[in-house]
Amino acid sequence: MTNKKSIFIFSAIFLIGLAFGIFCNGFIVNKIAGPIIAEDLRLDDQEATIRAIQKVIPAVVNIVVYDYKEVISVDLTTGAQTVEKERAQQGSGTGFLISADGLIATNKHVIDAGEDKTAEYRIILNSGKQYYAQLIGRDAVKDLAILKIFDKDLPFVELGDSDQLQIGATVIAIGNALGRYQNSVTKGIVSGIGRSLEASDKFGNAEFLDNVIQTDAEINLGNSGGPLIDLYGRVVGVNVAIDEAGSSIGFAIPINDARVVIKSVKESGRIIRPRLGVQYVMITPELALDYELHRDTGALIVHPEDGSEGVLLNSPAGKAGLAEGDIIFEINAIKVEEKNTLFSIIQKYKPGDKIGLKIQRGEKVIIRIVELDEF
């Protein structure tokens, strides 16, 4: 009996100790490991942000545009007037290096602050080193331009894949805010994709922007042409516009829409775009309902408000007999819809390529083969 009692007592003590140990271990883990995990997550986000910025910021440049303006002088004794030209700053913006030998991507409207024949473009690197750049070209389709400075072994960005962006993804905008605060950084999320809007610059020049990224990362005046990056430090967009009617509503051109420009400049030294030759709007269910269209997706060829033609004369579309009111809903078996705009599909091809279009014309579906030319 004594032995059995001793064994029972020993077993009870062991089980109580084991249970207490498990409880304490769980308590310690919960009390210590929990906050550490949460803190690690916060640090990971912060460290990812810092690393992404540090990776890209050496390749972000400040662009200052100089040109000549007329200055009128008046002789107070005679009243005679003389007109002289004086070199002055006309605008500023942001750009980013896309190659080690000095190619720079920026917005066309940044470059448009000066005249082609007289403008000078001063480039200031994050390191403080300065250059004067040569204008390689303006993009005829998107608000993009390419400059070049002449040096080697320059820092340059890594391009991401804007097609993989999802609403809610973290993005960071870098730029020369207000033309005074070089390499200012703001952070936000992707608020929308596939947006279409009309934007205008301070000179009153308007441009239609199609398939742009919306973000709440602050894009201030002067940020134009700067990179929109993800947390891996890859450029996913080119900052282009803001909606001043709202708060924290900025837009960026998807980097995949700029790849054709970048590739053509690297390969041929100039900007080459394939051209179909139509002006259009992407159809939404609301638009289809309002205009009683036969399809609720596709690209509707329209007559623009500026008086230009919906189908350009002597363009591939014009030669193929396309007309205003036609709906292009398929290209080479690729459906034309929100995520595959007419523009983005055409940019997959080269001038000289032949493509097949499926077109809704009234109640009929017709097929046309067109050979793309170039801008």
Q: Distance between CA 271 and CA 292 in Å, rounded?
A: 39
B/e letters for 301-336, b = 16+ CB within 10 Å, e = fewer, are: beeeeeeeebbbeebbbbebebeeebbbbbbeeeeb
Catalytic one of 92, 191, 224, 344:
224
List CB contacts of 140: < 8 A, sequence separation 6 or more: 271, 273, 375
DSSP-derived secondary structure for 162-209: GGG--TT-EEEEEEEETTTEEEEEEEEEEEEEEEEEEEE-TT--EEEE
Single out the residue of 271, 278, 333 nearest to residue 303, CA to CA: 278
Is residue 109 annotated as a catalytic residue, yes or no? Answer: yes
B/e letters for 220-253, b = 16+ CB within 10 Å, e = fewer, are: bbbbbbbbbbbbebbbbbbbbbbeeeeeebbbbb
Catalytic one of 92, 109, 139, 216:
109
State the distance between the two ends of the chain, measured CA to CA, in whole angstroms.
Answer: 103
Catalytic one of 67, 112, 143, 326:
143
As separate numbers, helices (DSSP H) first and strands (DSSP E) second, the chain gives: 7, 21
Which residues are the active-site residues?
A: 109, 143, 224
